[in-house]
Amino acid sequence: MAERIGFVGLGIMGKPMAKNLVNAGNDVTVFNRSSASVEELVAEGANAGSSAADVASKSDIALLMVPDSPDSETVVLGENGLLEGASAGDLIVDMSSIEPGVSQKIHAACSEKGINFLDAPVSGGEPMAISGDLAIMVGGSAEDFERAKPLFDVMGKSAVLCGDSGAGNTTKLANQIIVGANIHALAEALVLATKAGVNPETVFNAINGGLAGSNVMNAKAPMMFERNFAPGFRIELHYKDINNAAKTANELDLPLQVTANLQQVFKALVGWGEGGNDHSGILSYVEKLSGVTVTNN
């Protein structure tokens, strides 16, 4: 018999992920603080849950996708949370991007009740959540990973077991450092080209087949020279991830210079009211410092 699936958190990422699970023929029960998202999923074939606990009581595998560490703790460990409704042997999969230490805390609490737990953050933003092409980074046991793998295969193009509890979110933090640093470097490169009188789109076309080419550049350079900062992944969320990376580095007594610099860049952008823009909007920070505006016109 196919396992029953629960999904809590139907935001910009969670809603399309849950939709893909429903469209793949799974029996999915959903809950979200906003009833409109629940109603949308129900119209597509999902079942409505009245709380996270209710979702867990009607599921064998319960997934959640929420903004940050305190939200994960509330949804799993809080009143009417998943742990309250789950039964021994059930599996909770937290696909949120949170602090690795919080994942380990939740794992320990679940283990005390005989509940299995994976941390499984994703990369790819809203476009990949919609298309089902997310990269999924997983922390936990190999047995639980294999149990959840059919669901990961629906939501993502890759899923890798990175290690024990917390390893998924450690990997996600590494990913976010690399992505942020690439976007910042790209922004500086296009500002340099513009100031020197070279069309930034021409620069992109010239270098994207060489060593500088990357998925980040392919996705974000056109957004920069077309000045389209509609969010696929918001600055404020990347700032949250970099803050978590900085906290984790501090706990490990690591001096991470690029991470610290990114933290200040994102802090400035959020302070300027640009936190809702796509993280390609790091360009705005570089432009403000240089007095140069990038455009392909």
Catalytic center residues: 172
CA 262 vs CA 99, 133, 151, 241, 292: distances in Å? 17, 27, 33, 11, 20
Backbone CA torsion sign across 287, 290, 296, 297: positive
Q: Hunting for tokens 């300027």 — which residue is that? A: 272
Bridge-based pairing of strands 122-123 and 134-139 is antiparallel
Q: Quick one: fold of 170-290? A: N-(1-d-carboxylethyl)-l-norvaline Dehydrogenase; domain 2 (1.10.1040)
- What is this structure's pTM? 0.93
One DSSP character per residue, 205-267 reads: HHHTTSTT--HHHHHHHHHHHTT----SSBHHHHHHHHHHHHHHHHHTT---HHHHHHHHHHH
For every one of its 297 residues, what pLDDT tens digit does the chain have, with 9 covering 90 and above? 689 999 999 999 999 999 999 999 999 999 999 899 999 999 999 999 999 999 999 999 999 999 999 999 999 999 999 999 999 999 999 999 999 999 999 999 999 999 999 999 999 888 899 999 999 999 999 999 999 999 999 999 999 999 999 999 999 999 999 999 999 999 999 999 999 999 999 999 999 999 999 999 999 999 999 999 998 889 999 999 999 999 999 999 999 999 999 999 999 999 999 999 999 999 999 999 999 999 988
DSSP 3: P
CATH 3.40.50.720, domain 5-164, yes or no: yes
Q: Where are the domains of the chain?
A: 5-164, 170-290
Q: How many whole angstroms separate alpha carbon 78 and alpha carbon 210?
A: 50
